[in-house]
Amino acid sequence: MVNVRIDDIPVHWLEEIINLSAEKIVVTDRDGIILYINESYCNFLGTTVEQAMRRPVQEVIENTRMHIVSRTGQAEIAAVHHINGSEMIANRFPLIVSGELVGAVGTVMFKNPEELHSYKGKIHHLVEELKYYKTKLEKELTSKYSFSDLIGTSRAFMEAKTLAERTSGSKSAVLLLGESGTGKELFAHSIHSCSLRNGFPFVAINCASIPEHLLESELFGYEDGAFTGAKRGGKKGQFQLANRGTIFLDEIGDMPLAMQSKLLRVLQEKEVHPVGSQKCVKVDVRIIAATHRDLEQMVEEGTFRQDLYYRLNVIKIEIPPLRNRKEDIKLLAEKLVEKLEKKFHRKFTDLSPEVVAILEKHSWPGNIRELENVMERCINVLDGDTIKIHHLPLYLRDQEISAGKQAIETKSNSVESVRPLKEIIAEAEKQAIMNALAAADGNRQEAAKLLNIGKTSFYEKCRIYSIK
């Protein structure tokens, strides 16, 4: 390897390098006498290099402070410097050689206000872009819902909501159980929003949507060069991003067993171990987990760790499905329509009583998510101010038609089953005589007495009904 020394570079090369790199530069000794000034600076000042050299700097450069910096040794960075009616941005550095203050070096960044304005414009653009991404990140790491967004008055729902509100200020883990679409994530957001951690991040992770081989690095982060394709400088994991806040682990039942043991360690030790790192990082995070799976059954089957289950199952909140909240359907539908009106720029949309009746009859396997999809479909095809039956999806209309047909058939069958009263009485009378004869071992007189009728009348009825 060849070592290149500064002595090997011609002096006129060095001057040109200085002109290209600094544009305007001045060097003074300890007394403020100019030892070097480049041509670019002299052209701006309206002088020449020969005229400026070996003179006190304050005689050549208006409002300069170079002689002060050369004595005090205190740097002045990005200072505004007024020269010839212009505002320039100047940097002044003490020149220290072998530990001794020998003078100062000054550079000018902008030769006129236009140049400064252009630079400020570029910086402003970068600052605005940075602010945008910072705001976007903060929004993504903030809870979006509160308990006022949880709509319903049914008993089961109110019990779940009350328990969530009461325990939101706790540090304990929360386990949200419920079918898909019941609003588990809304509960998680609301708990964080009402907690003492609401000023810190809320980080939501769907454990089922992240590939197994990426889940560890996503949750716990990684060091620079931890694996092929790793981001330069490493990356913080979601637990570190959620520090002092809340992390919501949705679909926890889909987490692989290997990751369950690592999550358990985080819960126990309050620290994460980034992939490829030799040290652990302390974290203070509250965990809210959610699943639609039966974790107790999974524990019995060995597909979910029992110790992790008990760590998560400190505060268990069961969110009822929509089919068990029939009295809430109208209220929820109206709230969803109100939300969708803003999205589709509509106002004052009503639900017809017939539509409400159909909605309340449906079993809602997709829960609130399905109801929201139905309402959005209705708003899209709405041709007035009221949602009517023909605005509903076909499967709900077919359900109503099918129910109507069934009702007609039931009514028809009921009409067919009605017989004349005389036939019903005759059948009952015949059966009564036969029962009496059986009880009297065929003795007609005895049977007549049991029925409390005369012998002649008894014989006549036996003839009519062909009873021998």
Q: Which tokens is 83 given?
A: 């020269």
Q: Could you tell me if 293 and 156 lie in one domain? A: yes
CATH of the domain at 91: 3.30.450.20
CATH of the domain at 439: 1.10.10
Q: Could you tell me if 158 and 300 lie in one domain? A: yes
Please tell me the distance from the alpha carbon of residue 364 to that of residue 379, in angstroms, as a whole number.
19
The whole-number pLDDT of residue 409 equals 56
The whole-number pLDDT of residue 106 equals 92
Please tell me the distance from the alpha carbon of residue 224 to that of residue 226, in angstroms, as a whole number.
6
Please tell me the distance from the alpha carbon of residue 412 to that of residue 418, in angstroms, as a whole number.
10
The whole-number pLDDT of residue 286 equals 96
Place of tokens 């967004």: 149
Within a domain: 120: no
Which positions ≥6 away from 350 have C-beta within 8 Å?
A: 385, 386, 387
Q: Could you tell me if 14 and 54 lie in one domain? A: yes
Q: Using CB atoms within 10 A of its CB, is residue 132 exposed (0-12), middle (13-18) or buried (19+)? A: exposed
CATH of the domain at 182: 3.40.50.300
Q: Could you tell me if 256 and 290 lie in one domain? A: yes
Q: Which tokens is 294 given?
A: 């039966």
Q: Taking the chain (468 residues) in consecutive chunks of 10 residues, what is each chunk's mean pLDDT?
A: 65 73 84 91 88 94 92 88 78 92 87 62 66 60 87 95 95 95 95 93 91 89 72 83 94 93 92 88 95 94 95 96 94 94 89 94 92 94 92 82 55 59 79 80 82 83 80
The whole-number pLDDT of residue 226 equals 67
Q: Could you tell me if 200 and 279 lie in one domain? A: yes
Q: Could you tell me if 292 and 189 lie in one domain? A: yes
Threshold 0.75, pTM exceeds: no
> How many domains does the chain fold into?
4
Please tell me the distance from the alpha carbon of residue 174 to that of residue 287, in angstroms, as a whole number.
7
Q: Which of 111, 136, 160 is the last residue of a domain?
A: 111
Q: Could you tell me if 166 and 265 lie in one domain? A: yes
Q: Could you tell me if 455 and 405 lie in one domain? A: no
Please tell me the distance from the alpha carbon of residue 97 to that of residue 445, in angstroms, as a whole number.
144
Q: Which domain holds residue 153?
A: 147-320
Please tell me the distance from the alpha carbon of residue 285 to that of residue 294, in angstroms, as a whole number.
25
Q: Could you tell me if 267 and 345 lie in one domain? A: no
Instruction: Give me the torsion for CA of 77, 83, 88, 89, rounded to 10°.
Output: 0
Q: Which residues of 191-200 are buried (b: 16+ CB within 10 A; e: fewer)?
A: bbbbbebbeb
Q: Using CB atoms within 10 A of its CB, is residue 401 exposed (0-12), middle (13-18) or buried (19+)? A: exposed
Query: How many Å is the maximal CA-CA distance in the chain?
Result: 158
The DSSP output letter for 389 is G
Q: How many CB atoms lie within 10 A of CB 450?
A: 16
Judge whether 321 and 184 are in contact, CB under 8 Å. Answer: no
CA angle 80, 85, 87 (to 5 degrees): 20
The whole-number pLDDT of residue 122 equals 66
Within a domain: 128: no
